[in-house]
């Protein structure tokens, strides 16, 4: 297989919108005792309720580490040789094949 490096290619970064991908996953941890809430997809209310109830049961536990996990996808921008190949579900032509990585030297 012949490999070459794409000298300049534009990419875009945006939210992952694939089937089943949550917009966000929420959770929290009590900073006093370390107890953690269950994670909740796309709805922070259950985590907030958990924190309020936890403080209700433990009045001195008032600080929480709130965690929000999101997912991103990098896609080829207009003019990037991967854009056309992605649209057809194929790999780019070998002359456009990335050298083992789709990132730049700055990523390594």
pLDDT, residue 99, reads 36
Pairing relationship of beta strands 72-76 and 40-41 according to DSSP bridges: unpaired
Tens digit of each residue's pLDDT (9 = 90 or more) over 54-105 = 999 999 999 999 999 999 999 999 888 888 777 766 554 444 444 333 343 3
pLDDT beyond 90 at 24: yes
Kindly report the CA angle at 22 between 17 and 27, in degrees rounded to 5? 150
């Amino acid at each position: 297989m012949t490999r070459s490096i794409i000298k300049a290619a534009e990419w875009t970064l945006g939210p992952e919108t694939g089937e089943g991908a949550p917009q966000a996953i929420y959770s929290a941890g009590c900073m006093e005792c370390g107890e953690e809430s269950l994670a909740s997809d796309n709805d922070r209310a259950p985590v907030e309720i958990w924190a309020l109830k936890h403080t209700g049961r433990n009045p001195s536990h008032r600080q929480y580490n709130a965690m929000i996990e999101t997912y991103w996808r990098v896609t080829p921008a207009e003019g990037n040789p991967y854009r056309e190949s992605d649209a057809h579900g194929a790999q780019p032509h070998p002359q456009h094949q990335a050298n083992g990585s789709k990132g730049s030297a700055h990523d390594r």
